Copies of this chain bind each other. A is one copy, B any other.
């Protein structure tokens, strides 16, 4: 047997669970204002998330997918991207979306059953929430193909869950991106679970980063609870992609501290012990510790930040709750640019029966 080719998967950590730096910190982590900005965004994401779950529990929001525990990954991705890049998220990337300018009101509208939530006023070119698992990775590849054909210095970023890496579409996206050296970064948010299925039952692969090897592209792991490592790795991948170096797969190792969604009861399939262990590694705490050690943070500032978050969240919630129900016509709006005659007739019929349904 002759060895034809060798591979290795590497892993990056910059901030340990106690908030201590590991190795050489990247420039942005040495800029305290930048770290504060990211910590603020993580805090907002968590506070907003908590509120959204409460709204669901009190019947004011539909099924909602919490991002509890994913904040470092989400904000790390967001902070690594440029405004003109494009995000193709799943249903859980609240943090990244907030960072990129999707408003809390839009997020609530979407999960509140209203398509207007997808009409992002901020990142106009970003893809909407994507529920059919893994499909968004191909959209990111296609967006990257458009940028490449037009010679624009832009990149696409797709996120995907650990469970999502079992879908064929994911591999097709990695493969086409590799074959055409597309400017796209795939981030696998490995939070340990796909609803009730743990990663070990999902695949025999010991890392999800190694799935990149199948496409002949670089893949690496980062500690997904480590804001600095995520941002550094995604930044490097984006830089390479922007320079024509092609795609990268980044696996961010984190943990889903919540139920899968508000419709799920995780206690049916995983132990409280496991969740407790994971909670000790969660990202806000360690970022706060880092800031505290650098003397940039204290209980007062934390309190002020939380109040500020609460204020903006309350305003957004009020806005959301005040949004009038869409008109019946909205079912037909934007179906086609030019609505065919037969469907125009249906729009008229629908007006006649608006509000007669019982669900």
B214 and A4 contacting across the interface, CB-CB below 8 Å: no
Whether A210 contacts B214 in the complex (CB less than 8 A), given A7-B8, A171-B171, comes out as: yes
Q: Confirm or deny: A321 has a beta carbon within 8 angstroms of a beta carbon on chain B.
A: no
Write out the residue numbers on chain B whose beta carbons fall within 8 Å of the beta carbon of A175: 166, 202-205
Could you tell me which residues of chain A, from 236 to 284, have a CB within 8 Å of some CB in chain B?
246
Could you tell me which residues of chain A, from 202 to 227, have a CB within 8 Å of some CB in chain B?
202-207, 209-217, 220-221
Q: Confirm or deny: A33 has a beta carbon within 8 angstroms of a beta carbon on chain B.
A: no
Q: How large is the interface on A (under 10, 10 to 19, 20 to 34, 35 or more residues)?
A: 35 or more
**Chain A interface secondary structure, helix, strand, loop or mixed?**
mixed
Write out the residue numbers on chain B whose beta carbons fall within 8 Å of the beta carbon of A166: 172, 175-176
Q: Confirm or deny: A1 has a beta carbon within 8 angstroms of a beta carbon on chain B.
A: yes
B6 and A8 contacting across the interface, CB-CB below 8 Å: yes
Write out the residue numbers on chain B whose beta carbons fall within 8 Å of the beta carbon of A357: none
**CB proximity of A230 to chain B, nearest CB, Å:** 14
Q: Which of A13, A202, A203 has the most C-beta atoms of chain B within 10 angstroms of its own C-beta?
A: A203
15 additional A-B pairs beyond A7-B213, A205-B213, A210-B216, beta carbons within 8 Å, are A1-B11, A3-B8, A3-B11, A5-B9, A5-B206, A6-B7, A6-B9, A7-B7, A166-B176, A168-B169, A175-B202, A178-B203, A204-B215, A204-B246, A210-B214
19 of the cross-chain contacts (CB-CB < 8 Å) are A1-B10, A3-B9, A3-B11, A4-B8, A6-B7, A7-B8, A166-B172, A168-B168, A168-B169, A171-B171, A179-B203, A179-B204, A181-B204, A204-B215, A204-B246, A210-B213, A210-B214, A212-B214, A214-B214
Q: Which 4 A-B pairs have the closest CB atoms?
A: A168-B168, A204-B216, A178-B204, A214-B214
